[in-house]
Structure 1
Amino acid sequence: MSIISAPGTDAPSAEVPDYPMVRAAGCPFDPPPALRTLQTQAPIGRIRLWDGSTPWLVTRYEDMRALLADSRISSDSTHPHYPHQSPASFERRRQSRSFIVMDDPEHARLRRMVTAAFSIKRVEALRPMIQKIVDGLIDAMLAGPKPVDLVQAFALPVPSLVICELLGVPYADHDFFQSNSRMLIKRTATPEQTRAAVQRLTDYLDGVIGGKLAHPAADLLSTLAARVESGELSRREAANMGVLLLIAGHETTANMIALGTLTLLHHPDQLARLRESDDPKLIASAVEELLRYLNIVHSGRRRVALEDIEIGGVTIRAGEGVVVANDIGNRDPDAFPDPDRLDIGRNPRHHVAFGFGVHQCLGQPLARVELQVVYSTLFRRIPTLRPAADLDEIPFKHDGLVYGVYGLPITW
């Protein structure tokens, strides 16, 4: 491939690669090889998106952390040069904005309203409940027929049950919100499909919040309803926050559960280390390593420069879009020795799977606890767990904003 810019320049060459890029056949756990080429030869350079725009792509770990912590970089999706992931993503942001695509002070004001629910102390208190959910779903799998789809029987229900409990959403409605959530993170969805899914979910959460206004409970949506009642939030803002928390609370973790399980099954030495250990530190390390190694948010963190920024020998001009490719950043050899090797003992807590800076993932403490419980329980209780299909038969989510598998047949 051609190199798209050289250090010390800020103009794209005639050939600019399309983004996102394609993974290598037979290597579904690794980022696209073209990203490694860029990281080595042109770590900050131009890419071409679906709309013909050519924002900057950042591929080195050190540059990513610097930019994500820089106040001159904006997350505001209403900026005319914000690098949207797809036409559907553009429509979703136009129709319903959440605080993750806002800048301070509005971002901080809204985020603070829900931060306490995701504190480490609060989340740790949920561990027994999460353990009970995981054990119950494993009991059901063991009592049922084989093979079974791990996604539908386990990976999707675990975080869905947890986030429903935390928010105060009836789990009986899971088919409704899961199907609409899938549409919103599908890169190939049409704007019309996205518009309809956003409307359905917003109307649904608005109705739930209305119920909490009349009958508050000990849950997060009741907390948001109280903010509505006090005049701190509009009901629409509360519903938008509910949509964000509901989607983020189950989609990302569900994909990590399934993809992480498949990865471990194809790395039997690492799986054996995990299965044979009851050391909480090793289990926590395994979760961090799987987050680093897989990095399921594989379409980059999207930003816009508010001022000229000199970084890596390149000038990013005010108003230009920036895509931070955290998947290849987590495979940067300068930050993670032997980065393409899965090593559950390395504990790479400094990875950027959850982002970095003020916009790093709000729900990361919850995701960590869920994954720790899942990986420490699943293989211990089903020690002979194995795939019931070859790797090339597994349907990977190459068309999604979140990477994972659509299904994972397993047996034991």
Structure 2
Amino acid sequence: MSDSAALPLYMRRSLFDPDPELVAVREREGVRCVPTPFGLDIWVVTRFADVREVLGDPVRFSNARQPRPPGAPPLSREQLAAVRAGNLLMYDPPEHTRLRRMLTPEFTMRRIRRLEPRVKEIVADHLDAMEAAGPPADLVASFALPIPSLVICELLGVPYADREEFQRRTTRLLDLSLPMKERAEARDGARAYMGELVARSRKEPGDDLLGMLVREHGEELTAGELAGIGDLLLLAGHETTSNMLGLGTLALLRHPDQLALLRKEPERIGAAVEELLRWLSIVHSGVFKVTTAEVEVSGVRIPEGAVVACALPAANRDPALVPDPDRLDLSRGDLGHVAFGHGVHHCLGAPLARMEMQIAFPALFERFPGLREAGPQPGFRSMNVVYGLTSFQVTW
């Protein structure tokens, strides 16, 4: 948690909640232009309907026209193309459509269900290790982080033995408090690592996702695009789900009535995951958009070439979406939140993330019925692209 004014408005939190000032923007004007410590003025969109409008319109709100913050090292056209290659979040249709259609079949519910037995095995293995080591345990290090990491490593064909190094790079890449040069080095290191895996996969394609892309689309995709796709999936596949598992467990422990409801009616797990996704909204805003023309949102005129951020926590707590939005209520069901985004960039891995959470949360609370906080207070990561916990001591 941080009240620091150094945090840009759309990233400020008060424990589980969006910052009161962000809520005030939603309730008053809906859209506000705010300064940021990155040297950019950003138009923050806060209301649910407006966020869906922005996310659903790649023509007026472009992902491809990414802003360059003042002080960022200049990139040549070739360098920029190399950084963007394969990263779906930095493309607009039709280029985005070309890449996404190659990946979509691998992330259908039918394909994801094939992974279910293995995910259950991975979860059980980590619970066994926690139980054997005994309390207290850091839930982040022993459960929330390693499970999604192992799942995405196996799906992509990334050696799990390399996880510590790529997690270290990811942490540096997403930590906005670090100098831009250091984050750029982490980005380049991650891309180089994935480039080596792609080269290996092109020689001997395995049964994993990288191998599938090489076999089925090797003629259509450059080595740079393959590396970019793998890099994005690796980062997104472990970073988001792991923070949902850590923060979601803390939320349930601090709302014992809701945890009791889930224990009593375990069939509610699907609805529970959706409500946790809505209520926590761990991704502050996703990728910035840049307007391609002057636009009007909530009666506010935004000029052409402006940088726009969608405040997902504020949108998902909008009273226009759900009554009493600040209350965690696992009985609500799926209300169409924007925690996974919306439109053409809606999270490709959402079915996998949902399945992991629907397996991991019940297994954790079944194995440790007396699970509780052990102190000290959990560490929150504020100045990060993805909100979550750095550490969380539990006992049972």
Same fold (TM over 0.5): yes
Deviation at 1:273, TM superposition (A): 1.1
SS of 1:46's partner is strand
Listed one character per residue, the Cα deviations across residues 120-139 of structure 1 (whole Å, up to 9, x for unaligned) are: 11112211111111111101
Partner of 1:8: none
- Farther off after superposition, 217-226 or 163-172: 217-226
2:328 to 342, 347, 355: 342
Partner residue in 1 for 2:392 = 408
Correspondence for 1:156: 145
What is the distance in 1 between the residues matched to 2:146 and 2:13?
28
3-state SS of paired residue (1:56): strand
Name the CA shift for 1:139/1:260 in 2 (closer, same or farther; >3 Å): same
- Name the CA shift for 1:146/1:51 in 2 (closer, same or farther; >3 Å): closer
SS in 2 for 1:270: helix
1:266 aligns with 2:254: yes
The equivalent residue for 1:257 is: 245
Identity over aligned pairs, percent: 43
Task: Give how far 1:49 is off.
Answer: 2.1
Shift of 1:350: 0.3
Q: Which moved more, 1:37-46 or 1:313-322?
A: 313-322
State the 1:85 CA deviation: 12
Q: 3-state SS of the aligned residue for 1:369?
A: helix
Q: CA deviation at 1:75?
A: 3.4
Describe the shift of the 1:94–1:51 C-alpha distance in structure 2 as closer, same or farther (beyond 3 A). Answer: farther
Aligned partners of 1:228 and 1:234 also within 8 Å: no
3-state DSSP of counterpart to 1:45? strand
Q: C-alpha displacement at 1:21, in angstroms? A: 5.2
Q: Which residue in 2 is equivalent to 1:317?
A: 303
Q: How big is the shift at 1:191?
A: 2.1
2:94 maps to 105
Which secondary structure state, in structure 1, belongs to the residue aligned with residue 13 of structure 2? coil
How far apart are the structure 2 equivalents of 1:338 and 1:288? 16
**How far off its partner does 1:399 sit?**
1.4
Preserved contact between residue 77 and residue 93 of structure 1 (Cα < 8 Å) = no
**TM-score, L = length of structure 2:** 0.91
Structure 1 segment 61-210 matched on structure 2, within 5 A: 61-79=48-66, 82=67, 96-97=83-84, 98-210=87-199
1:31 to 4, 14, 18: 18
Aligned AA (1:120): M
1:48 is aligned to 35
Residue type of the partner of 2:121?
K
Q: Calculate the aligned-residue CA RMSD, in Å.
A: 2.3
> 2:345 aligns to what?
359
Measure how far apart 1:73 and its partner are: 2.8
Matched, 1:59 2:49: no
The offset of 1:111, in angstroms, is: 1.5
Is 1:55–1:83's contact at 8 Å kept on the other side of the alignment? no
Query: 1:228 Cα deviation (Å)?
Result: 6.5
Paired positions, count: 385
Residue 396 of structure 1 aligns to a residue in which SS? strand
CA contact (8 A) 1:50 1:86 kept: no
Inter-partner Cα distance in structure 2 for 1:333 and 1:86 = 39
SS where residue 361 of structure 1 aligns?
A: coil
Residue 389 of structure 1: SS of its match in structure 2? coil
C-alpha distance in 2 between matches for 1:312 and 1:383: 47
Q: Determine the C-alpha separation between the residues in 2 that align with 1:401 and 1:93.
A: 21
Cα shift at 1:166: 0.6
SS in 2 for 1:304: strand
* CA shift digits 1:276-333 (9 cap, x unpaired): 3231xx1000000000000001245521111222331122222222111111000001
Bigger mean CA deviation after superposition, 234-243 or 361-370: 234-243
Identify if the C-alpha distance between structure 1 residues 323 and 229 changes in structure 2 by more than 3 Å, giving closer, same or farther.
closer
* 3-state SS of paired residue (2:379): coil
Q: CA contact under 8 A between 1:83 and 1:302: conserved in structure 2?
A: no
Give 1:222 deviation, angstroms. 0.8
Shift of the alpha carbon at 1:95? 6.3
What residue identity is the alignment partner of 2:235? I
Q: Deviations over 1:102-161 (max 9, x none)?
A: 111111111122111111111122111111111111011111132011111111111011
Structure 2: gaps of 5 or more residues = 1-6
Shift of residue 388 of structure 1? Answer: 0.7
Any idea what the Cα deviations from partners look like across 1:1-60, whole Å, max 9, x if unmatched? xxxxxxxxxxxxxxxx95345334xxx111111111111111112111234432321111
Contact 1:55 1:323 in 2 (8 A): yes
Partner residue in 2 for 1:248: 236
Q: Secondary structure at the match of 1:257?
A: helix
2:222 to 234, 237, 251: 234
Amino acid at match of 1:236: G
CA distance in 1, matches of 2:236, 2:65: 21
> Per the alignment, in what secondary structure is the counterpart of residue 410 of structure 1?
strand
SS at match of 2:320: coil
Amino acid at match of 2:169: N
Matched, 1:276 2:264: yes
| Equivalent position SS for 2:51 | helix
Q: Determine which of 312, 320, 323 is the counterpart of 1:326.
A: 312
Q: Report if the CA contact (8 A) 2:65-2:289 is conserved.
A: no
**Is the Cα–Cα contact under 8 Å of residues 11 and 383 in structure 2 kept in the other structure?**
no
Shift of 1:77: 4.5
Aligned to 2:274: 288
3-state secondary structure, aligned to 2:309? strand
Amino acid at match of 1:387: E
Tell me if the contact between 1:287 and 1:372 (Cα under 8 Å) persists in the aligned partners: yes
Does 324-333 or 190-199 show the bigger shift?
190-199
Q: Distance in 1 between matches of 2:378 and 2:222?
A: 44
SS in 1 for 2:238: helix
Q: Give yes or no for contact 1:68–1:356 (8 Å, CA) kept in 2.
A: yes
Gaps of 5+ in 1: 1-16
1:351/1:84 Cα in 2 relative to 1: closer, same or farther (>3 Å)?
Answer: farther
Name 1:399's counterpart in structure 2.
383
